[in-house]
Every structure is written in C-alpha cells, then in structure tokens.
Amino acid sequence: MKILIANRGEIAVRIIRAAHEMNIETVAVYAKAEEDALHVKLADEAYCIGEKHSSESYLNMENILMSAVHSGANLVHPGYGFLSENPTFRKLLRECSIGFIGPSEETMLQMGDKSMAKSLAKKAEVPVVPGSDGEVHSLEEAKTAAETIGYPLLIKASSGGGGKGIRIVEKEEDLKGAYLGAKKEALANFGEDGVYMERYLKNPRHIEFQILRDQHGNTIHLFERDCSLQRRKQKVLEEAPSPKLSETLRKNMGEAAVRLAEASDYLGAGTIEFLVDHEENFYFMEMNTRIQVEHPVTEMITGVDLIKEQIRIALGHPLSVTQEELKLTGHAIECRINAEDPDNGFMPSPGLITFLHFPSGKDIRVDSGCYQGLRILPYYDAMVAKLIVHGKNREEAILKMQSALYELSIEGIVTNQSYQEDLLRESFFQSGEYHTLSLDSFQRGTVDGAV
C-alpha cells in the first residue's frame, strides 16, 4: 500500500506520519524551490512536480497524476487547500484507477456550490440563513430578493472561500455596487461569477462540526470547534469545545450535521460549518469536503486520529468508533503561528529560520513542516506551525497555551507569536464572549472586542 500526498508543509508531514504508523509507504511531491522541505525528507519517495509557484507545482494536476502513476501509489491524500476540493482532479484520479482519500466528485460539486449546498440543507431539515432561492442572476433579481430578505444582507460568491466574493450591504442604495463588485471578485478568484444573497447576522459565532462517514453508511459527528476568532475572515485561534454552547444546542447541531452528511452521501472526513446567533439559533453556512487546518483540537478532545480514519475509510474499513462510544474530554486550543508581522499590517515575513525551539510536555502538540535552517518562502501559505494544547478544562488549557507560547522561540523571521500571546490575555477571550468580528477591533490588548 502506498499513498501520495498532493500537498506540502505541516499537513503533508502530518499525513506522512499517520501513514507510517499504519505501515503504509508514502510519496511526497514538491516544487523545485522546496527540495529541502521536511515532508520531502520524511516520505519514502519524492517527486519534483514543477517550479516554485503553486500554479506550476501543487496545482499542476498533470504532473501530480504522472507522479502517482510512476510511483505506483494506490491512494492520493490531498490535504487541505490546493486540489483538495477540486472535482476535476478527483475525476482524473478515478479514471487512472487511483483512489482518492475524500468524497466523490459529485459530492464535491454539490457541497462546493453554496447555493446547491443550501438547498440540500433545507431538504435535510437543517436550518439555513434566510436568503435567495439559489443564485441571483441580475440586479433586478437582487433587488427583489433584498425586499424579502431585508437589510443588512450579504452577497456571496456561490463558489467562494477564504472571504473572497463577499459584500455586506447595509442599505438599498449600496446594493448595485455591492452586487457588481461581488460578481467581479468571484469571477477573478473562482472563474465564475455566480452569487447568492442571505440575511446578515450581526456578531455571530462560527461553529463547525467534524463529521466522519464510511462506505458502510456509518455516520458520526465528533463535536464542535469554535472558529469565531478570525482576522479578515481567516482563522487565527480555534478551540474545542466552544465555550458558549449548551448541551442542548450541541446535540441539535450535531444531529443536523449528521443529517446533512447523510443527505449528501458523503464519504470520509468533512466539516459542517454553522453560524450561531445570540438566541442560540444556528444556521448552516457551508461544508468543507476535506480535512481542516484545525482538526487537531478535535483529535485532542476525542482521542480519534482523523487522518487515520480518512485512510481507513478510503480502504473500505468501517469507522473505528461509534457515536455512543465518543466522549468529549477536556478542552483544546490551537494557535496558528504564521510568518507575518502584526506590527506591519500582518505583512508576510519570509526568510531563514536561524533558531527554532518548539515547546513540549504533557498534552502539548506542535504540527509543523519547519526546522532550524529552513527558509520560509514567499510563494506559499505563511504558516510556520500549529501549536495545540489540551487541558482538563478551558482554564487549564489557556494557562497551558500561555506557557507553551512563552517557551516557543523562533528567530530569523517575524511571526504573530506576540499577537497570539496578547489575544490569550484579552478579556473577551478569557470570558469566551467573542464573535466573528471581535478581532476587527482588537488592538493588541488596548481595545476590548467583547460581544
């Protein structure tokens, strides 16, 4: 058995380690500029797939497919980002008789299109944010939909992601500019300009449920992650479980996530994302048909290795755990350590890591593709490491993360480490009273962004 990892960085390292623990050989792919990358060193085989830019390498389907065929790989794990949710890549692998660790292309297409996913959620009796019935194809349709939805509202790209193709419209006179702007940005980023509209929820929490579904129809959820702390719609810190979900709400949201996974005929590990308002109303937002960056916090509170489960599912094995057997234990927090300068508009900070010391100890985990002497390149994501801790409760987890950040030492590049340290001390985080816009007003400990 051999798995090719169509990715790089910490997630490639994470997958390689899980595969080796299952006695499975691994194949790495890499851009020419990354021949010294850690995932290349750890894999059993490695193939160069192109030049330094992602479009020439990690998004080069032909070269990745050639590497998979040449290496004799039985399965491809896409990680996250890049080609992980690309139905064309999934289809090409199938045509080459190579397995894919993830759902079918039909499921990807259905759940990747936000308006289609919303329609399916309605059929599965999963609450959705009130909005347009599918895509809005003209300005006149947008005006008609706005009369029903009311202001403020959101215009969102149907094939969107990463905060692209989204406009908030506060009043009617702003509708035209926002509609045309969202369509233009959607076309530029996703190759198509379809948009839909929905009610704008003020200061919601972003809660996501991890699900697993095997080829035998077994479906479970592994509780929730709170991903509300975002800067420009990019997640900064995640924790599990959410500090503000009641047991009743957790149960209802988990059951809704399972219904949607079953309705979409999902296969593998996926994430159902919800928005939750002040009255504990929850609404389906989107589904990510891949492993998430923040999956370690779920692993810490459940004891389930999600990467190994993905591989087991792809090999046709049943889930190793039932819903009844799962227990939510303790509290976990993840801080994303990025090569970026918080004091300079979070500008990327590529360069040579001249010294690196990661913290260690009981229930402290570091997921990283970096080492001392590695050069952080400007062509890819700026993540240096994910620092994850687990405590018997949230208070212990916060103290453990503060201690771990104190011990973390990275020299040669600027990182957001100090930003994370300040965030952990902020009152809105300490109390758990935060939302998706809290970081917009966070000024390194001087402004309280509480609800």
What residue segments make up the domains of the chain, in order of their start? 2-101, 139-199, 205-441
Show pLDDT as tens, one digit a residue, over the chain (451 residues): 999 999 999 999 999 999 999 999 999 999 999 999 999 999 999 999 999 999 999 999 999 999 999 999 999 999 999 999 999 999 999 999 999 999 999 999 999 987 799 899 999 999 998 889 889 999 999 999 999 999 999 999 987 766 778 999 999 999 999 999 999 999 988 888 999 999 999 899 999 999 999 999 999 999 999 999 999 889 999 999 999 999 999 999 999 999 999 999 999 999 999 999 989 999 999 999 999 999 999 999 999 999 999 999 999 999 999 999 999 999 999 999 999 999 999 999 999 999 999 999 999 999 999 999 999 999 999 999 999 999 999 999 999 999 999 999 999 999 999 999 999 999 999 999 999 999 998 876 444 443 3
Q: Which of 290, 312, 336, 365 is catalytic?
A: 290
375 is catalytic: no
Angle at 218 (CA atoms; ends 214, 224), nearest 5 degrees: 90
DSSP element (H, E) containing 274: strand 268-276
CA gap 23, 1 in Å, rounded: 8
Nearest-Å Rg of the Cα atoms of the chain is 21
CA gap 124, 126 in Å, rounded: 5
> Which distant-in-sequence residues (6+ apart) come within 8 Å of 30 by Cβ?
8, 37, 39, 40, 46, 47, 48, 49, 57
The pLDDT value recorded for residue 299 is 98
- Total residues belonging to the chain: 451
Dihedral of CA atoms 253, 264, 60, 378 in degrees, nearest 10, equals -10
The pLDDT value recorded for residue 447 is 41
Q: Which of 142, 150, 144 is CA-nearest to residue 182?
A: 142
CA gap 174, 390 in Å, rounded: 46
The superfamily in CATH containing domain 205-441 is ATP-grasp fold, B domain (3.30.470.20)
Q: Mapping DSSP to helix (H, G, I), strand (E, B) and coil, where does residue 311 land?
A: helix
The pLDDT value recorded for residue 161 is 67
User: Under a CB-based contact definition with an 8 Å cutoff, are residues 132 and 198 in contact?
Assistant: yes
CA gap 34, 126 in Å, rounded: 44
Residue 251 tokens, joined = 């149960």
Give the rounded distance of the alpha carbon of 145 from its chain centre: 30
The superfamily in CATH containing domain 139-199 is ATP-grasp fold, A domain (3.30.1490.20)
> Which distant-in-sequence residues (6+ apart) come within 8 Å of 112 by Cβ?
85, 87, 159, 289
Helix axes 306-314, 9-21, angle to 10 degrees: 70
* Domain 2-101 classification at class level: alpha beta
CA gap 191, 223 in Å, rounded: 34
The pLDDT value recorded for residue 105 is 96
